[in-house]
Every structure is written in C-alpha cells, then in structure tokens.
C-alpha cells in the first residue's frame, strides 16, 4: 500500500496552461515536501509545508497543505517548458522519522 498517492501519474500540457497535481494520504504528516527531479539527476527540494492550511508560493508555483495535514497540492500557473520533470511529494510523520515519497507526477510541457 502506497502511503502517499500522487495524481495524475502523467500529465502532458501546452505551454501557457495551468495545472494542479495532488498528493493524498490517509495518514497525518508533521511536514510535507515537494521535489522536482529531472532525468539523470537527483530530486531538488522546492518547498516544505508544516502547518495545516498553509499556502506557499514560489514564483508561478503555489503549494497548499491540507487543513488536516493529510494532503497537499501543487498548482503551476502558465506552465513553461522548463517546468517539465517528475514532481515528487514526500512526507514525514514526525521531525525525526524518515521521509516517505510518493511515486510522482511526470509533467511534460510542450511548446
């Protein structure tokens, strides 16, 4: 059983479109992180959210942590080809427990 379910698994959109990807769980997390991974590289941290209902913005990316701290979403406005990659969410149940990763959403932005 996957602790963190990400959807959709694959997404292909045109440049300029908006999109939202989701990370859902039946478990409560003390913190949740979003990473982006490009082919042949390791994941790179985009954001960490720790408070239920928290919203963080990183340029055209908006991250939200669910009120119950069981789910999160990533919204990209006006997608660019440089946004192409694998988006991974990862949660920790407490400050000392290991991160658990979802399977990721593979995003392809076409010019």
Indicate which single residue of 14, 59, 98, 111 sits in contact with other proteins (rule: CB under 8 A).
98
Point out which span in 52-60, 65-73, 77-85, 101-109 binds other proteins (CB under 8 A). Answer: 101-109
- Backbone torsions φ then ψ of 48, nearest 5 degrees: -125, 130
Ordered DSSP codes for 45-76: EEEEE-STT-EEEETTEEEEE-TTSSEEEEEE
Measure the CA–CA gap between 26 and 37, rounded to whole angstroms.
25
Measure the CA–CA gap between 96 and 109, rounded to whole angstroms.
36
Indicate which single residue of 30, 77, 80, 81 sits in contact with other proteins (rule: CB under 8 A).
30
Point out which span in 14-22, 40-48, 56-64, 67-75 binds other proteins (CB under 8 A). Answer: 40-48
- Which residues are near other proteins by CB under 8 A? 4, 30-31, 33, 40-45, 48, 50, 88, 90, 92, 95-99, 101-104
């Amino acid at each position: 059983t996957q602790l963190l379910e990400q959807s959709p698994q694959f997404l292909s959109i045109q440049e300029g479109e908006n999109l939202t990807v989701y990370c859902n769980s039946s478990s409560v997390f003390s913190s949740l992180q979003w990473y982006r991974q490009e082919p042949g590289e390791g994941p790179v941290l985009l954001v960490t959210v720790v408070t239920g209902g928290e919203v963080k913005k990183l340029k055209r990316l908006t991250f939200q942590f669910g009120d119950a701290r069981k789910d999160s979403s990533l919204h990209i406005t006006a997608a660019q080809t440089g946004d192409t990659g694998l988006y991974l969410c990862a949660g920790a149940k407490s400050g000392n427990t290991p991160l658990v990763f979802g399977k990721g959403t593979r995003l392809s932005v076409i010019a």
